[in-house]
Amino acid sequence: MKTSKLVIGIVSIVLSLVMLFQSCAANVGSALNGGTDTSGSVGTLVAILMIVAGIVGIAARNSKGGAIAATIIYAIAGLSAIGASTGMYKDLLVWGVLSLIFAVIFLISIFKQDYSKPNTPSNPTTPQA
């Protein structure tokens, strides 16, 4: 599960950069139309949340608390994106579903991964001082 959390974190950071560019384009399009569409702004918020969740997922992939935090952040991002996908920025639905999938994977890792093992191997031949 540690490797999958590392990969999801990296993919999340890379895809959120793409999402930031799309959100900026949606914001410009909404401003040019003179509309009150806020899906571009929500897309920017979701992209920032996915960057944060990806960093937390990478940095704390050996920690149960880090997995819980990443799960919550991905879930908030996913629900926000799905809720705002009715505006001009229709790709937000795809990013929301993807974020919820990442949240489910992190949720599964909370229960499946063994967090009690130390990460560094102990050397029993080293004398204790």
- Which pLDDT tens digit goes with each residue over 12-46? 999 999 999 988 888 888 888 877 778 888 999 99
Are residues 97 and 78 in contact, defined by beta-carbon separation less than 8 angstroms?
Answer: yes
Mean pLDDT of the residues in the chain: 87
Are residues 70 and 53 in contact, defined by beta-carbon separation less than 8 angstroms?
Answer: yes
For residue 2, what pLDDT band results from cuts at 50, 70 and 90?
A: confident
What secondary structure does DSSP assign to 47-107, as a single string?
HHHHHHHHHHHHHTTT-HHHHHHHHHHHHHHHHHHHHTTTSS-TTHHHHHHHHHHHHHHHH
**Which positions ≥6 away from 51 have C-beta within 8 Å?**
12, 13, 16
Question: Which pTM was predicted?
Answer: 0.84
Interatomic CA distance for residues 18 and 37, integer angstroms: 20
Other Cβ atoms within 10 Å of 35 Cβ, number: 11
Burial class from Cβ neighbours inside 10 Å (0-12, 13-18, 19+) for residue 106 reads: buried
Q: Say which range, 27-31, 78-82, 104-108, has the weakest mean pLDDT.
A: 27-31
pLDDT(7) > 90: yes
Closest CA to 46 of 22, 1, 78, 72: 78
